[in-house]
Amino acid sequence: MRNLIITLLVALLIPVVANAHQSANVAPEGRKRVVVLDPGHGNPRPGKAMGKVREADIVLDISKEIRRQLATKMPDLDVYLTRHSDSSYHANQNTDNRMRAEFANSKGADLTIGIHANALENTKVNGCEAWVLSLDEALMKQNDSRANLFADDGDALNINDLDTKSMGFIKVLTRQLDNEPRNRMFAQQCCDNIQKLGMGNLGVKSGKIWTMLYYLEGHGVLIEIGYMTNPKDFAYITSEKGKKEIATSITSAIISFFKGLDAISSDDGVAVEETSTSASSAATTPEVEEQAELTSGYAIQLISSTYEVDIRDYQFKSYKGRVRLLMSTGKYKYKYCYGSYATREAAKHDLEEARKTFKDAYIVYFEGDKIVTK
């Protein structure tokens, strides 16, 4: 019930919050894209250390290599590192990570990537994994109860310290709803790319409230490149060859991410011809005809974005030819929606199905091609 209340509250507050947290980092048209690389830890926190080999040094080497590769492969991209040496922002670990997010926000980061290496007492566990921010209450509690299984727990916020009724939390939750779909796609591509190097792939995870991700205004992912406590992983991620190949894998994902940001649909306003029998039948049903005639009403928002997304993007494959762009105000002004309903109750019938693919989908009110507050 508590999750439902928060979800309904967010649905009502989205237009207000979008304006309230419109960031100063929204630059004029034509500005350069920005990526911030955050090598984890730094003096006085080395992260996991195996003898004289420290996590902080490994991830700094990889971050610098990513920056070097991007300078060649994507020269129009502005690349920043949160640290360039064995240093940190603050003595308190959570404060340090919050300040890293604030640094990224100050640079207008389109994407921020935290780079870490994992560690567990169980030396058999191996592979890369990636974390995205998700404020699902049940998931947060589950991860909080298992906190002792994670290394460097000071990098995360305690769920009991969050005021989930505050406007600050609602703003973070709103950003999470907007950013999570693209965050997950980027995180998954990083894991898949690293897996091709012969590493294990533990996939994309969420629920643990990483401080750096919590305070980010733009897209953000935390990547654990492998386990220092696993002999095979350790040998690879500490080798010059391994560090360079991991950097190349992440660089490739970054390039794909920014190509997606810059993609503009070339077929706006052009009808999509459906060839399958089921699609043709659906297009002639009274329900669809009625929806097409509405100039105002309710729609199901699948995702929102700070940039224009190609409506042919593979994330919309379940709704091919049926996704349309509605505009709003604020930083996340591009809203990709499905359906056209005379009443909110009518839209609710399809909302459950939409959430099977877009778990944060919700109902909005539109007039013409704009979303408005009703």
Question: 270 in a domain, yes or no?
Answer: no
Domain count, the chain: 2
Specify whether 286 is located in the same domain as 231: no
Bridge-based pairing state of the strands 49-50 and 53-54: antiparallel
Last residue within a domain, chosen from 199, 229, 261: 261
CATH of the domain at 333: 3.30.70
Spatial neighbors of 234 by CB under 8 A, at least 6 apart, are 50, 53, 226, 227, 228
Q: Which helix (H) or strand (E) holds 304?
A: strand 296-305
Of 232, 261, 290, the last residue of a domain is 261
Can you give the pLDDT at residue 96?
A: 92
Which phi and psi angles does 97 have, rounded to 5°? -70, -35
User: What dihedral angle (degrees, nearest 10) is formed by the CA atoms of 39, 40, 44, 46?
Assistant: -100
Same domain, 93 and 177: yes
Overall size of the chain counted in residues: 374
Whole-number pLDDT of residue 142: 66
Q: Based on the domain organization, do 335 and 189 belong to the same domain?
A: no
pLDDT values of the chain reduced to their tens digit, one per residue, 374 residues: 445 444 444 444 444 333 333 333 333 345 789 999 999 999 999 999 999 999 999 999 999 999 999 999 999 999 999 999 999 999 888 899 999 999 999 999 999 999 999 999 999 999 999 999 988 777 766 666 554 444 445 688 877 777 777 888 888 888 888 888 899 999 999 999 999 999 999 999 988 889 999 999 999 999 999 999 999 999 999 999 999 999 999 999 999 998 877 663 223 333 333 333 333 333 333 333 334 458 899 999 998 887 778 787 767 877 877 888 999 988 788 899 988 888 999 899 889 888 888 888 899 999 999 999 87
> Is 106 found in the same domain as 12?
yes
Residues 252 and 112 in one domain: yes
- Residue 269 domain flag: no
Whether 123 contacts 229, CB under 8 Å: yes
Do 133 and 230 have their domain in common? yes
Task: Note down the domain range covering 361.
Answer: 277-371
Are residues 353 and 256 both part of a single domain? no
Q: Is residue 266 part of a domain?
A: no
The answer to whether residue 209 sits within a structural domain is yes
The verdict on 282 and 243 lying in the same domain is: no
pLDDT at 294: 80
Assess if residue 74 is contained within a domain.
yes
Which residues on adjacent β-strands are paired with residue 337? Answer: 301, 324
Please identify, among 195, 230, 261, the residue that sits at the C-terminal boundary of a domain: 261
Measured CA to CA, the distance from residue 206 to residue 221 in angstroms comes to: 10
Q: How far apart are CA 198 and CA 177, in angstroms?
A: 33
Q: What is the pLDDT at residue 154? A: 66
The answer to the question of residue 272 being in a domain is: no
Are 236 and 283 in a shared domain? no
φ/ψ of 198, rounded to 5, equals 100, 5
Same domain, 228 and 302: no
What's the pLDDT score for residue 233? 97
Query: What whole-number distance in Å separates Cα of residue 215 and Cα of residue 2?
Result: 23
Diameter over CA atoms, the chain: 70
CATH assignment at residue 180: 3.40.630.40
**Residue 317 and residue 322: Cα distance in Å, rounded?**
10
pTM of the model: 0.64
Please give the Cα distance from 96 to 13 (Å, whole number).
Answer: 30
The pLDDT assigned to 148 comes to 42
Same domain, residue pair 22 and 138: yes
pLDDT at 291: 41
Residue 141 CA to residue 58 CA, distance in Å, equals 31
Say if CB 303 and CB 309 are below 8 A apart: yes
Question: Are 15 and 148 within one domain?
Answer: yes
pLDDT attached to residue 359: 82
Could you list the beta-strand ranges (E) of 211-287.
219-227
The residues facing 219 across adjacent strands are 111
What is the per-residue burial (b if ≥16 Cβ within 10 Å, else e) of 60-92? bbbbbbbbebbeeebeebbbbbbbeeeebbeee
